[in-house]
A = this chain, B = another copy of it.
Amino acid sequence: MQLSTASWPEIEAYLSRSRGIVIPIGSHEQHGPNGLIGTDAICPEVIAQEAGDEDGFLVGPTFNVGQAQHHMAFPGSVTLRPSTMIAALQDWISSFTRHGFTRLYFFNGHGGNIATINAAFSEAYAPWSLRGEPAPFACKLVNWWELRGVGEVCKRRFPVGEGSHATASEVSVTYYKYPGFQKRVSMDPKIAPNGPIRDAADYRARFPDGRIGSDPSQATVAAGAEIVGVARAALIADVHRFFDDAG
């Protein structure tokens, strides 16, 4: 079930049986020579929507632009400053808790978001913690690539050149969703370098075509389909553990 295509009476009915929601959260930023700029928003969105349709849990709109300052030297990247992202997440959290949602599961597709999302959770809890009242909600952050079983599939599919940005796996997931937008580009070097992440100019100097440690030319629709399948099942299980407050 998706919030976007539901009516408010349908959400009211949903709330009488569940107090949990899954919110895909991503980014729009370069993903190397053959990856889609929307990759980090698309991956959690596809997995969450397929899982939500199968299981019945509610999927919110995708928080589709995140913290990507280090990608800004590549055309098309969009970023929020962390302080802005914290304010925006605060408002999303306030909105959902206002309606009685008590379990907010943020399903993330972008490594660069992790610190800011966790800081936003603390920002949301802080007024309650400072007032001495229990917060009427709990937030959880899960990255799609850390769901049970997903790492194994990725490693088996791409034993070499999975990498950490513009990975073969994430590009596969987007190709599975948007097969018409596959881009065939030969990679040079075959596998991209690794290094620290700082500002945008430093990033571009270290990673001239945007990839980190990866060879995404290996990406295929079939791999994407397999990854989504495994992730979908794992997500359903993990979401219920959280909604039932068991972890």
On A, residues with C-beta under 8 Å from B are 2-12, 15, 28, 30-38, 41-42, 60-62, 64-65, 67, 69-70, 72-84, 86-88, 90-92, 94-96, 98-100, 112, 114-123, 125-126, 128-135, 138-140, 174, 178, 181, 183, 185, 196, 198-202, 210, 247
Q: How many chain copies does the complex carry?
A: 6
Nearest CB of B to A85, in Å: 8
Residues of B within 8 A of A35 (CB): 7
Q: Provide the bound-state CA to CA distance between A35 and B42, in Å.
A: 25
Nearest CB of B to A9, in Å: 6
Residues of B within 8 A of A125 (CB): 69-70, 198-200
Contact B65 A119 (CB under 8 A): no
Nearest CB of B to A78, in Å: 4
Nearest CB of B to A185, in Å: 8
Contact A37 B135 (CB under 8 A): no
Closest to A126 in B: B69
Q: Provide the bound-state CA to CA distance between A132 and B98, in Å.
A: 7
14 other A-B residue contacts (CB within 8 Å) besides A84-B84, A114-B115: A3-B76, A6-B37, A7-B183, A8-B74, A8-B210, A15-B75, A28-B61, A72-B132, A73-B129, A77-B95, A80-B88, A81-B91, A115-B117, A140-B196
Q: Provide the bound-state CA to CA distance between A207 and B104, in Å.
A: 23
Residues of B within 8 A of A83 (CB): 83, 86-87, 123
Which 9 interchain pairs have the tightest Cβ spacing? A4-B38, A129-B200, A115-B118, A11-B76, A135-B199, A134-B201, A8-B30, A125-B199, A82-B119
Q: Provide the bound-state CA to CA distance between A11 and B237, in Å.
A: 39
Residues of B within 8 A of A61 (CB): 28, 38, 41, 64-65, 78
Contact A37 B65 (CB under 8 A): no
Q: Provide the bound-state CA to CA distance between A12 and B77, in Å.
A: 11
Residues of B within 8 A of A200 (CB): 125, 128-129, 132
